[in-house]
Structure 1
Amino acid sequence: MESNSVFQIPPHDHFFLGSDHDRAERRTWAVIILCTVMMVAEIVGGALFGSLALIADGLHMSTHAGALLLAALAYTYARKYAGDRSFTFGTGKFGDLAGYSSAIVLAMIALLVGYEAVTRLIDPVPIAFNQAIPIAVLGLVVNAASAWLLSGGLHHRHDHDHSHGHAHGHDHDGAPRRSDEPEIRELEFEEHDHGHGAHHRDNNMRAAVVHVMADAAVSVLVIVGLLLARAFDWLWMDPLAGFIGALVIANWSVGLLRDTGAILLDRNPDPRMAERVRTAIESEGDHVTDLHLWRLGPGHLGAIVSVATSETHEPAHYRKRLARFPDLSHITVEVQHRLATP
């Protein structure tokens, strides 16, 4: 004989945004303003002084600002609609969607830079060193300033407690915890490494930083290539530096596509966590018949657990056992009671 029991919880909010969401949003908009100011200054300056190279770099800066705008809008939209119940599991994945889109843009940039580099290796073009080198240096300075502004969004704060201060109106098992519920400590897992897990990574901020770092890396390579080309008349050094930069950008793009794509497809973000959840449930002799673990947003995991037991335990019993894992922000527990037949 088998009976099924599913724990019913009252309606609650699904705020699964990262702990640094607001700060990252502000910093991203600040970098967009910086890039926009530089873009306007370069285009206007190029038009006034007749510098085609300056205009070209200004147009390049516009693509940089556009990529960052995608990240900023993702932050804003995710925050604005975090309480919209039409999003079944909240808006925490908007950053991953923006990161995936940015990775595609990066891949296209890598292809364009690589194509241009190969073209110039085959058919070298004259280089205006006196204009190109200062512009490359200026681009590096802007990217360094952008990286400094964005760096605050990458630092994971360790001054939070194990509840993470999440504002979604319920504890990590998806339902309000009563004050009389005992804290479960039968199994001693070391959970302090959770802050370094991949599921805590803000892929939206990561994509923004990758854009900045890719631009900075290309600027460094271009500066080195231009200096060598001018010193030794090696015109091939400039396109070679560009081709190396394209390979670097492509490598970062592939990594970003792989990680964000896995999240969008609900791949298990932390196999170690899944094994810990299974061990916590089965420590009393029960059996996990089905387990789904996926990422809801930076630092937030969702879990669906089906448990087969010959005891009289209800879902609340297993919720308490899983309360030790602060990253589990939304849990659904199904209990299958197997009763012995006479």
Structure 2
Amino acid sequence: MAHNHAHPHDGNQKRLMAALLVTTLFMLAEVAGGLISGSLALLADAGHMLTDTAALLMALLAVKFAQRKPNARHTFGLLRLTTLAAFINAIALLVITVLIVWEALQRFFHPQAVTGGLMLVVAVAGLLANIFAFWLLHHGSEEKNLNVRAAALHVMGDLLGSVGAIIAAIVIMTTGWTPIDPILSLLVSLLVVRSGWKLLRESLHELLEGAPKAINVDKLKRELTQAIAEVRNVHHVHLWQVGEKPLLTLHVQVIPPYDHDGLLRQIHVWLHQHYQIAHATVQMEYQPCSGLDCELCETGAPHQQVEGTVLEHEHPHGAHSGHHH
């Protein structure tokens, strides 16, 4: 299974590398074009592409580090680096957008001449480059990789910026009205802020050990109780995510089973099939927890134990290794 798991990382790495090359080249082209033509829209797009270059580089490094095997010091490996990179990317995107908005406001008070023809040529070339880069990254995000989505979001901001620059160039060439340049820069920046803020919240949620939004904990507890006859109650559930892996610990009060290991394996298989949770720690109990809600910080009497030992098993007899990707 480890062999299959490596392919998405390899695909993401190649796409990130190609997108990084394309973005870097056209960032330099837009900087030059913006300075020569005097277009803020081009410079705004180049500013987004500058953060794209850093974002893609961090994403590439994060994907590379995430492939390192777990060790005694980092038992989950370095998967969390991808989320951290997405968080930094979101902050960088918001900061650069604020700077562009500030410059756009200054342009209203101090208009500058803009060369529409050169602006249009560079903007069209930038649009094509951004479309290509976004296509690369979009096709690399089937596994809902937050880090690749972060990089794709940066490129989407550039794509919108290129469209704005093209519109501004056409208006300037046909009417000579230069305020359209900072106006469109301002509108594009505001659109990107919305997406950047969403990404910031998502990555921060994961860094704070929040439960994956795709999994409803209450629904999981209810369905597990209904699906397996021996399960009386599911409680003390803790769900979080590392990289793309959802992780789960829970207590399960059960009717004393004829085949203890078989029931434990059945619970693991159900979690994997219905919620794609391949790494779970299940504590089986024959009596209710001593606390009202069985809280993590509980300091009262210990839980009722099975045969004198608290059972905290992964998949027994090789079942864990078969389901843990």
> TM-score normalised by the shorter chain: which range applies?
0.7 to 0.9
- Aligned in 2, Cα 1:118/1:231: closer, same or farther, shift over 3 Å? same
SS at match of 2:118: helix
- Aligned in 2, Cα 1:15/1:263: closer, same or farther, shift over 3 Å? farther
Q: 1:213: how far off?
A: 0.9
Given the alignment, which residue of 255, 261, 267 partners 1:321?
A: 267
- Aligned in 2, Cα 1:115/1:18: closer, same or farther, shift over 3 Å? farther
Task: Tell me which amino acid in the other structure corresponds to 1:331.
Answer: A
Given the alignment, which residue of 253, 276, 287 partners 1:338?
A: 287
Greater RCO (CA < 8 Å, at least 6 residues apart): 1
Partner of 1:280: 224
What pairs with 1:1-342 in structure 2 (closer than 5 Å)?
A: 20-38=8-26, 51=36, 60=47, 61-79=49-67, 81-154=68-141, 156=142, 200-269=143-212, 270-272=214-216, 275-281=219-225, 283-284=228-229, 285-298=231-244, 300-309=245-254, 311-312=256-257, 314=260, 317-324=263-270, 325-326=272-273, 327-338=276-287
Task: Tell me which amino acid in the other structure corresponds to 1:134.
Answer: V
Of 28-37 and 237-246, more deviation after overlay is shown by 28-37
Task: Tell me which amino acid in the other structure corresponds to 2:263.
Answer: H
Distance of 2:187 and 2:43 partners within structure 1: 21
Q: 1:86: how far off?
A: 2.1
8 Å CA contact 1:295–1:302 kept in 2: the answer is yes
Higher helix share: 2
Distance of 2:174 and 2:4 partners within structure 1: 55
8 Å CA contact 1:14–1:82 kept in 2: the answer is no
Task: Tell me which amino acid in the other structure corresponds to 2:57.
Answer: L
Q: 1:53: how far off?
A: 5.9
Q: 1:301: how far off?
A: 1.4
- Aligned in 2, Cα 1:89/1:62: closer, same or farther, shift over 3 Å? same
Q: 1:127: how far off?
A: 1.1
Q: 1:14: how far off?
A: 9.9
Distance of 2:191 and 2:99 partners within structure 1: 13
TM-score, normalised to structure 2, is: 0.74
Task: Tell me which amino acid in the other structure corresponds to 2:251.
Answer: S
Task: Tell me which amino acid in the other structure corresponds to 1:27.
Answer: R
SS at match of 1:84: coil
Q: 1:335: how far off?
A: 2.1
In structure 1, the gaps of 5 or more residues are: 1-12, 157-199
Partner of 2:310: none
Distance of 2:260 and 2:238 partners within structure 1: 19
Q: 1:38: how far off?
A: 4.0
Q: 1:243: how far off?
A: 0.5
SS at match of 1:134: helix
Task: Tell me which amino acid in the other structure corresponds to 2:17.
Answer: W
Q: 1:104: how far off?
A: 0.5
Q: Summarize deviations over 1:91-123 as a string: whole Å, max 9, x none.
A: 333222111111011101210111111111232
Distance of 2:113 and 2:13 partners within structure 1: 42
Distance of 2:65 and 2:51 partners within structure 1: 21
- Aligned in 2, Cα 1:58/1:297: closer, same or farther, shift over 3 Å? closer
Q: 1:207: how far off?
A: 0.8
Q: 1:271: how far off?
A: 3.7
Q: Summarize deviations over 1:274-297 as a string: whole Å, max 9, x none.
A: 523442146435112311111233
Distance of 1:92 and 1:287 partners within structure 2: 32
- Aligned in 2, Cα 1:329/1:296: closer, same or farther, shift over 3 Å? farther
Q: 1:236: how far off?
A: 1.5
- Aligned in 2, Cα 1:271/1:64: closer, same or farther, shift over 3 Å? closer
The alignment yields a C-alpha RMSD, in angstroms, of 3.2
8 Å CA contact 2:30–2:123 kept in 1: the answer is no
SS at match of 2:280: strand
Task: Tell me which amino acid in the other structure corresponds to 2:186.
Answer: F
Distance of 1:19 and 1:290 partners within structure 2: 35
Percent identical among aligned pairs is 26
Distance of 2:2 and 2:77 partners within structure 1: 5
TM-score, normalised to structure 1, is: 0.71
- Aligned in 2, Cα 1:82/1:226: closer, same or farther, shift over 3 Å? same
SS at match of 1:323: helix
